Structure 1
Amino acid sequence: MKYWNLKKINQLAFEKTGIIPRSMSKLFDRFKQELNPNAEVEALEEFKVAKYQTSTSVKYLIILLIVPILMNQMSKTFILNPVVNYFWNKNSSYIFMNHSQEERAFADLQRYEEKLHFEILIGKINEMSVKTVEKKMSEKALEIALEYSKESADAIKNIIADLLSVIIFISILVINKRQFSILKSFINESIYGLSDTAKAFLIILFTDIFVGFHSPHGWEIVIEAILRHLGLPESRDFIFIFISTFPVILDTIFKYWIFRYLNKISPSAVATYHNMNE
């Protein structure tokens, strides 16, 4: 019984798209099953297979997401933080900042100076001498520099921890190929099992989020956050080139998937998508 279930699951996992739409094949299978005297036994077996497939997919997905994140945080907390901080503070006489960090530091210092003069003008703080103002500005400049220097040190930790997470993620995929096949089959069945309206809604939602007319601002924020996370300079040229090319590639992939797969499996969903998108 268990061997039969595993065999059935493997068949589902490696199921490919055929010439005949899946909806038509399911219709013929339904008539065939209703005429089958062993339909109840087979339905029970299929339920067991589906239950095993769902539980295995959920467990594997949790492991696939949680384990790399846990290893990332644990490696930074217990290994990278003390090691990187030791070697970084060892050379604390030199404060490292890249070009974009310097620009942000200048802007922070300018805002602090404007705030200081404004508070003096409105009487919030007592009027100070030029030397006192210069001393406060010098202290604030050192504080800002140390803050961005710490950001550079954190970037080194992030790069090493992220590489470790990627290695663990790929290792889980390679070691557990059968679970990955089951998860892939489960995702395919979940997506293609949706109604036509739900499929069209999800396609429009994802395309509008990632390749819509308003997405460049979102991509700009995401890329800036990634570059800061990795300690790389925030090159505006690179960001604009990325925004002008990557969403186009994503849009092409979406259209290819709709034409190559969804149009064969569920042409009515494609028609619904075009009607909703007009």
Structure 2
Amino acid sequence: MKYWNLKKINQSALDKTGIIPRSISKLFEKFKRELDPNAEVEALEEFKVSRYQTVASVKYLLCLFIVPILVNQLSKSFVFGPCINYIWNQQNHSIFLNDSQEERAFAELQRFEEKLHFEILIGKVDDVSPNFVNNKITQKALEVASKYSNESSSAMKNILADVLSSTVFISMLIINKRQFSILKSFINQLIYGLSDTAKAFLIILLTDMFVGFHSPHGWEIIIEAILRHFGLPESRDFIFIFISTFPVILDTIFKYWIFRYLNKISPSAVATYHNMNE
């Protein structure tokens, strides 16, 4: 019963515009509700349903975030981590998983060697014997090798743990269809219940953040971090192709959503968006 009332309440946010303007129809509906002798009972019932929707949505949303993160960290620390460390230490694996790691490791070692020679030239290092220099470089090389070996093993742990947590997340969406439907209705009510200025502000903020003229640098950093997280090669060609295509696709989706849905539900918000964007 609660779920049926919930759908009934939130359906008004998604109704299409008719011949009569929505503002006038809402005015007549308001008078009708106020003259209804059962208006107080219906308002109380609507409040109970709205409160149930909010509480259920917040709980489900927290579970969607917390449970996969816990599964990811626990599986990485107690399941995949020990297994991969044991296999990694038992067998002679390559330190680097790709050429990008080699380039970063060699560049780091080269910077250390150049810094060491610079300190020798300015007299900051007293011992300038070849053995001292070789020992310093050898120690740094071992540190770099250990660092990138751990990075390679961590990438394998990340892949397994992320696959498991993603499976848990998708399973929660599929199994709890009712809670997901309530959450979807709550989000729709929250978004379409905003004022026109707030809607326009959020649209401009999202479009400028993800598809604006300054967003390619942010996308480049995000893609590099993701590739390193999974131990994948940092191909510059792939990154540039992604940056040149994906924001365009996002921009098209934003414009389609504005034209197809928001323009019918809240045309005044679209007008406000155009005025703010000019």
TM-score between the two structures when normalised by the length of structure 2: 0.94
Q: Equivalents in 2 of 1:102, 1:41: separation in Å?
A: 71
TM alignment of 1:22-41, pairs within 5 A: 25-41=25-41
Name the counterpart of 1:208: 208
Match of 1:269 in 2: 269
For residues 11-26 of structure 1, the aligned pairs below 5 Å read 11-12=8-9, 16-20=14-18, 25-26=25-26
CA distance in 2, matches of 1:28, 1:100: 66
Distance 1:186 1:153, change over 3 A: same
Moved more, 105-114 or 215-224: 105-114
1:6 corresponding residue in structure 2: 3
> CA distance change for structure 1 residues 264 and 24 in 2, over 3 Å: closer, same or farther?
farther
Taking a change above 3 Å as real, the CA distance of residues 207 and 80 of structure 1, as seen in their structure-2 partners, is: same
Q: Distance in 1 between matches of 2:103 and 2:177?
A: 47
Residue 155 of structure 1 aligns with which residue?
Answer: 155
* Structure 2 CA distance for aligned equivalents of residues 245 and 101 of structure 1: 26
How many residue pairs match? The answer is 275
Q: Determine the structure 1 residue equivalent to 2:47.
A: 47
Cα drift, residue 131 of structure 1? 3.0
CA shift for structure 1 position 12: 4.5
- Aligned pairs (5 A) from 1:1-278: 3=1, 5-12=2-9, 16-20=14-18, 25-92=25-92, 94-278=94-278
Asked whether the 8 Å contact 2:227–2:233 carries over to 1, the reply is yes
Q: Is the alpha carbon distance of 1:261 and 1:93 closer, same or farther for their aligned partners in structure 2, counting shifts above 3 Å? A: closer
- For 1:14 and 1:238, locate their aligned partners in 2 and report how far apart those are by CA, in whole Å: 43
Give the deviation of 1:24 after TM superposition: 5.2
Give the % identical residues.
71
Q: Is the 8 Å Cα contact of residues 228 and 234 (structure 2) preserved in structure 1?
A: yes
Residue identity in the other structure for 1:179: Q
**Amino acid of the structure 2 residue aligned with 1:18:** K
For structure 1, the 5+ residue unaligned runs are none
Q: Which runs of 4+ in 1 moved over 4 A?
A: 12-16, 21-25
Q: Structure 1 residues 157-166 or 11-20, which shifts more? A: 11-20
CA deviation after TM superposition for structure 1 residue 140, in Å: 1.3
The Cα RMSD (Å) is 1.6
Runs of 5+ consecutive residues of structure 2 not aligned to the other structure:
none
Q: Distance in 1 between matches of 2:28 and 2:160?
A: 54
Give, in angstroms, the shift of residue 23 of structure 1.
Answer: 5.0
**Per the alignment, do residues 149 and 65 of structure 1 end up closer, same or farther by CA in structure 2, a change over 3 Å counting?**
same
Check conservation: 2:10, 2:189, Cα contact below 8 A: no
Over residues 75-121 of structure 1, what are the superposed CA-to-partner deviations in whole Å (9 max), with x where a residue is unaligned?
A: 00111111100001112464334100001001100110111112222
